[in-house]
């Protein structure tokens, strides 16, 4: 993959150890990444970084994932960016809420391996 066509992925996840594992694997797969550690930073970077896909955690400081998702989908500039929700709250109610707000898909962090995360990212970007 040449530099110009490198797809950009924004990772909004407050847990440092999860964030760095995601960055590592996604960069290994040839993507460009940007990290955000809270909801507000995530929203700002969704606008400035211009990602091709956003990985979004739900429980975040400052603004939670639902709010971030809502604002991403309200903004003309960001509303077409696909969002993959990462969650610990595996209750279907919460996941359904994220899907209703316009998330493309979701995955439960403890149930998925990084490999599966990457596969999902690639499938959405295809």
Question: Which residues contact another protein by CB under 8 A?
Answer: 15, 17-18, 20-22, 24-25, 28, 88-93, 109-111, 113-115
> How far apart, in Å, do the first and last CA atoms of the chain sit?
14
Q: Is the dihedral of CA 62, 96, 109, 33 positive or negative?
A: negative
Residue 74 CB, nearest distance to another protein (Å)?
A: 29
Residue 24 CB, nearest distance to another protein (Å)?
A: 5
Cβ(84)–Cβ(53) under 8 Å? Answer: yes
Looking at the Cβ atoms of 1 and 92, the one nearer to another protein is 92
Looking at the Cβ atoms of 2 and 113, the one nearer to another protein is 113
Residue 126 CB, nearest distance to another protein (Å)?
A: 22
Distance CA 30, CA 27 (A): 5
């Amino acid at each position: 993959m040449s530099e110009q066509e490198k797809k950009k992925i924004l990772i909004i996840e407050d847990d440092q150890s999860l964030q760095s594992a995601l960055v590592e694997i996604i960069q290994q797969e040839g993507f460009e990444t940007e990290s955000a550690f809270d909801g507000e930073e995530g929203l700002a970077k969704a606008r400035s970084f211009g990602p091709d896909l956003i990985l979004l955690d739900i429980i975040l400081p400052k603004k939670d994932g639902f709010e971030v998702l809502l604002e991403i989908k309200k903004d003309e500039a960001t509303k077409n960016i696909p969002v993959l929700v990462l969650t610990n709250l595996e209750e279907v109610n919460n996941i359904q809420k994220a899907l209703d707000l316009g998330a493309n898909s979701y995955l439960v962090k403890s149930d998925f391996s990084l490999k599966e995360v990457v596969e999902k990212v690639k499938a959405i970007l295809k």
